[in-house]
Structure 1
Amino acid sequence: MDEHVLLIAGAALVIMIAASVFARRTGVAAPLLLVGLGIGASYLPGAPAIELDPELILAGVLPPLLYSSAVNLPVIDFRRNFRLISWLSVVMVIVSALVIGAVVHWLFPEISFPLAVALGAVVSPTDAVAATAIGRRVGLPPRVMTVLEGESLVNDASALVVLRTAVAGIAAASSFSLGRTVLEFGWAVLGALVIGGLVGWGTVVLRQRLDDPVLNTTISFAVPFIAYFPAEELDASGVLAVVVAGLVTGGLGSRRFSARDRQTQATTWTTFNFILESGVFLAMGYQLPDFVDAAQGETTPGQMAGLVLTVVGLLVVLRFAGLAGPALRDREETQEEVRTRLDQFEEKLDSLTPADDREDARITAARRRLARGRADIDFEEREPITKRGFLTIGWAGMRGVVTVAAAQTIPAGTSHRSTVVLAAFLVALITLVLFGLTLPALIRRLRFSPESAKDRHDAFRSLLQQVGESAVDTLGPLESQTIDGEPIDPKLVTKLKDRILPRVLAGVQEAPRLRPAALEQTMILQKRYLDAMREALAAERSIGAYSSHTYARVESILDDMEKRLEV
């Protein structure tokens, strides 16, 4: 292997680490620093020319990045914000691509309409990396963070489908077809849902049976590509299939993976994600001179400035216009209507008398759906997206990696291709700098009210107590339990009831000092109660009466207990 490649890779890792440390100390988002350092490095004397194949980014880097984010995004949060996320990531992406395409073609007739739509498609998806990094540091509400993360997961798929159709129009030298775009988008979504769901479910089942951290982590690295490439081969959306596979894995993994597997995977993917994200932002800045040189023969600086400012202005206007409807909608009236329907549904359930076990199971499932509906309403009242939240979402419109990589997939030889590629890069750079530098001040000025530490602790203790009581109800009295058909020693039962079991149910693990036979029985019983608590936690999570942070904290306690029992 060329030693220069190793030297560049090593230098890049040093820059990534230094930028991350500097960002934590200064408050500047790391992506901004990395892009700036990449631009600076590209102008150093003797800096080598590095050509990155855009397909390498789209097919090799984007899938694992999306999968890592999707696995860590709570499914319940995604479901509760699905309407707003789908509006921003699907409807607004398509509208933005078409509007920008029409305006750019009108103002710059030399850029064909299909090529202008391609430009609109590549600049329409937002990149939440910088926004969420800033939001976590300055205390952005968790629900706003979920919307930003969910939007950035799905909008890449929407943009790439529109781009694919626009590129087909360029190649055929024909006009852009809205009907074809709708049909292709429909198949892209449907195919991705099926393929991603099957891949996610199948790999979870396989990893559950293996129960080996090394093999499970290795399989997890393959999952994004197992979902991406078959979907692309079938003309579905590979990136959306990856997102679906990640959401399915994250949702099922909390019940089917061991604590050790989850911890190993989380640590490995966090490291891998850091390297990929940092490396792409660094490369994004490093490529600037090449983009400028390629576009010099096609356009003047004045024309380029006009094109870029037009696109940036349209993006800002369209984003806030798209958020105006959801922000002004009367949510209180809608919630009251839903609550009334739930009350009527409950009255109907109360009037039913099950004739057999099958009907009783149906009624029980219906009551669970009722509880989930009430929890959703309580969530809307507890964590509403206020006008301040919508303002923050609107101002968090940074573009990034996907914009630059997708623009370079426009076929070589296309008239004014270099102009569009440079414009897409400059749009991404301007939005990163403009929104990235001003977003922290905006969030501080809006003065969001974070949940108090006491409220978070009370919710944690309440959920932990609830799953503990549910475990006891499920397993029955301790005196009635047996191990291998043999009853438990009465003295051990007394000790378990008075000292050890209360600590387990309270989330505190105590290493019992008992004789070997009693120690083995104690460990078995603790594991039995721990499994019951996990089942209770999964049931409570499906309802969603608590925040995802509370569920994650209780799950962390149970994971710690499980790892200690395995020692």
Structure 2
Amino acid sequence: MHEGVRQVELVFLFLLLFVIIFGALAKQLRMAYPIVLVIAGLMVSFIPGLPRISLNPDIVFLAILPPLLYHAAWQTSWREFRYNIVSILLLAFGLVAFTVFGIAFASEKGFSLLYWNTGFVLGAIVAPTDAIAATSIARRVGLPQRIVDILEGESLVNDATGLLALEFGIALVVEGHTPSFAAGATRLVWLIAAGIGIGVLVGWLVRRLELLIDDGPIEMTIGLVTPYAAYIAAEEAHASGVIAVVATGLYIGRHSSVFFSPSVRLQAYALWNAIDFVLNGLVFVLIGLQLPFVLAGLHQYSRPLLLGYAVSFSVLVIALRLLWIYPGAWTAHLIRCRVQKQNDPFPAPRALFVVGWTGMRGVVSLAAALSVPETLANGQPFPGRNLIIFLTFSVILVTLVLQGLTLPPLVRALSLASRQGPDCEEDEARRLMIEAAVAHIEQARNAGPAATEPALTHMYEDLLGHHHQRLTALECRSQAQEQAAGEAEDHEVSAEPSHYLRYRELSQDLLRIERQTALRLRDDGRISDTVLRRLERELDLSETRISTS
């Protein structure tokens, strides 16, 4: 027992060191870390004598997936998610169905030991894209934010639709039972509706609880428990745990500005960024390390035949996504224009091609493949199970490495890289926040004893000068002036010792006014949640500095 525990500790330490080393290497190489970690894990898997580390699907679904989905949903801007909902749903539902049936029909023709029903299972396994890989790579190569928002929303939702299709497929193979259309539709509606309802309910309960507590460690612990609570509650209700976690993350992300104090919010972002990196690093390394297990049950196949299967199946998965993207985009554009009254121009074909090229698969697909039962209801082996796992592993490797490595030059060749310039939405929010602070200073000066106390007069004038300087730097948007604006944020206003408490109170009031202005702009839809978080971080840092000075 003691030796077993010691071995687990050593393996876990080895994996963490692996993630740290190759994560740092990825940063030095300016590559997305999922690609580097998968390649590194694959290379290490060939080293003889190393302990073999298998990927347990239950650990992925119950321990790793909920916090990753929760953090991704928390970071998602609700305004953009809602605006792009038609495009997201056509990818998360339409593309998943197209992929499942496309692979089901192709499997019977192209792969031995796979028939329509087992091909349906395989299609359901590889249909969902990875929630982290695609968006992390897309952000790194500088894709336009609209494309990143759609990819992010798609990967948050399509896990649920893919797992639902897998549930139907396994029932079809294991029990020989084909669900009716009515049964399938009813099950889908329950998965989604109950998942959303449970997720929002968990989020509401957490919000109410957080409003009663202002203690960093306790609130961090509540945050860690939240995704697991949503996932388990939904699964117990036979709803979608994935949808529940996403709904909870979106709800908490939308309301965290209200119930988190500045210091707790800073701690929460630091904690979740670390958790996100560690968990993602571990799963991508583990994907690469699975090659020996994947090949173990394929002795009846020759290596050239397996290689041909891997290449042809990966091409099929990529081609199905590319085939769907163009008619899917046309349908989404038609619905948005006629129903939602959105007047955006039709996306450029090159932008749609990039969306089609970013269909990376990840750990959910591999865990789903490993969760396929080994036997049927009659005790016979599950047909083609080992081949299903191998093909899943192959498409994960090809989409992560091939598409991930070719995406940056493709984006540059198609001139799609977004140019880093001023964010007009953020600049306008900053201007309104500063103007609100200036109005508050003038009101406080006129209502107080500043006229009879020169020291207070000087303090108010200094504060006004500081905020006017921020406005000037914002209006004249150059690199040097942006630096001056940053320096202006750290400007210390002179105040007599006897008036220092008044200065601190007024400074905190100004931060409160700016925060309320930013929240109002977000609630009115004038800025996104992403912009609000950037502004909030600056305000949180300033408030923490004033509180500790």
Q: Which TM-score bucket, shorter chain as reference?
A: 0.7 to 0.9
Shift of the 333–33 alpha-carbon distance from structure 1 to 2, 3 Å rule, reads: closer
SS in 1 for 2:132: helix
1:407 aligns with 2:375: no
Once residues 385 and 502 of structure 1 are traced to their aligned partners in structure 2, the CA distance between those partners, rounded to angstroms, is 46
Q: Which residue of 2 aligns with 1:360?
A: none
Q: Which residue of 2 aligns with 1:544?
A: 525
Q: What is the CA deviation profile of residues 400-448 of structure 1, one whole-angstrom value per residue up to 9, with x for unaligned ones?
A: 1111011111112222212211211112112222212211110111122
Of 513, 538, 543, the match for 1:557: 538
1:532 aligns with 2:507: no
Letter matched to residue 556 of structure 1: R
Contact kept, 8 Å, 1:65 with 1:276, in 2: the verdict is yes
Letter matched to residue 428 of structure 2: S
Shift of residue 47 of structure 1?
1.6
Letter matched to residue 319 of structure 1: R
Q: What is the CA deviation profile of residues 535-560 of structure 1, one whole-angstrom value per residue up to 9, with x for unaligned ones?
A: 22112113333466543332232222
Shift of the 203–490 alpha-carbon distance from structure 1 to 2, 3 Å rule, reads: farther
Q: Which residue of 1 aligns with 2:547?
A: 566
1:145 aligns with 2:107: no
Contact kept, 8 Å, 2:462 with 2:493, in 1: the verdict is no
300-309 or 281-290, which deviates more: 300-309
Shift of residue 562 of structure 1?
1.6
162-171 or 492-501, which deviates more: 492-501
Shift of the 229–293 alpha-carbon distance from structure 1 to 2, 3 Å rule, reads: same
Contact kept, 8 Å, 1:323 with 1:394, in 2: the verdict is yes
Contact kept, 8 Å, 2:314 with 2:395, in 1: the verdict is yes
Shift of the 476–440 alpha-carbon distance from structure 1 to 2, 3 Å rule, reads: same
Structure 2 spans left out of the alignment, 5+ residues: 376-381, 471-487
SS in 1 for 2:489: coil
SS in 1 for 2:26: helix
Q: Which residue of 1 aligns with 2:431?
A: 465
Shift of residue 100 of structure 1?
1.4
1:388 aligns with 2:350: yes
Of 70, 75, 79, the match for 1:76: 79
Q: Which residue of 1 aligns with 2:228?
A: 225
Of 468, 477, 490, the match for 2:443: 477
RMSD: 3.0
Shift of residue 159 of structure 1?
0.7
Shift of residue 39 of structure 1?
2.2
Shift of residue 89 of structure 1?
1.4
Q: Which residue of 1 aligns with 2:60?
A: 57
Once residues 512 and 12 of structure 1 are traced to their aligned partners in structure 2, the CA distance between those partners, rounded to angstroms, is 50
Once residues 529 and 415 of structure 2 are traced to their aligned partners in structure 1, the CA distance between those partners, rounded to angstroms, is 23
Q: Which residue of 2 aligns with 1:499?
A: 462
Equivalences, count = 520
Q: What is the CA deviation profile of residues 370-404 of structure 1, one whole-angstrom value per residue up to 9, with x for unaligned ones?
A: xxxxxx86xx57xx853332211111111111110
Letter matched to residue 124 of structure 1: A
Q: Which residue of 1 aligns with 2:170?
A: 167
1:28-427 maps to which residues of 2 (within 5 A)? 28-108=31-111, 110-175=113-178, 177-297=180-300, 299=301, 301=303, 304-305=306-307, 307-328=309-330, 380=344, 385-413=347-375, 414-427=382-395
Shift of the 77–520 alpha-carbon distance from structure 1 to 2, 3 Å rule, reads: same
Contact kept, 8 Å, 1:31 with 1:130, in 2: the verdict is yes
Q: Which residue of 1 aligns with 2:379?
A: none
Once residues 387 and 451 of structure 2 are traced to their aligned partners in structure 1, the CA distance between those partners, rounded to angstroms, is 81
1:430 aligns with 2:398: yes
Q: What is the CA deviation profile of residues 90-148 of structure 1, one whole-angstrom value per residue up to 9, with x for unaligned ones?
A: 22112211221233135457435433211101101112533333333332212212222
Contact kept, 8 Å, 2:459 with 2:494, in 1: the verdict is no
Shift of the 211–182 alpha-carbon distance from structure 1 to 2, 3 Å rule, reads: same
SS in 2 for 1:232: helix
1:7 aligns with 2:10: yes
Shift of residue 468 of structure 1?
3.4
Once residues 502 and 191 of structure 1 are traced to their aligned partners in structure 2, the CA distance between those partners, rounded to angstroms, is 55
Shift of residue 196 of structure 1?
0.8
TM-score normalised over the length of structure 2: 0.86
Shift of residue 498 of structure 1?
1.5
Once residues 490 and 146 of structure 1 are traced to their aligned partners in structure 2, the CA distance between those partners, rounded to angstroms, is 55
Q: Percent identity?
A: 31
TM-score normalised over the length of structure 1: 0.83
Q: Which residue of 2 aligns with 1:373?
A: none
Once residues 512 and 467 of structure 1 are traced to their aligned partners in structure 2, the CA distance between those partners, rounded to angstroms, is 19
Once residues 336 and 236 of structure 2 are traced to their aligned partners in structure 1, the CA distance between those partners, rounded to angstroms, is 42
Contact kept, 8 Å, 1:114 with 1:175, in 2: the verdict is no
525-534 or 182-191, which deviates more: 525-534
Shift of residue 325 of structure 1?
2.6
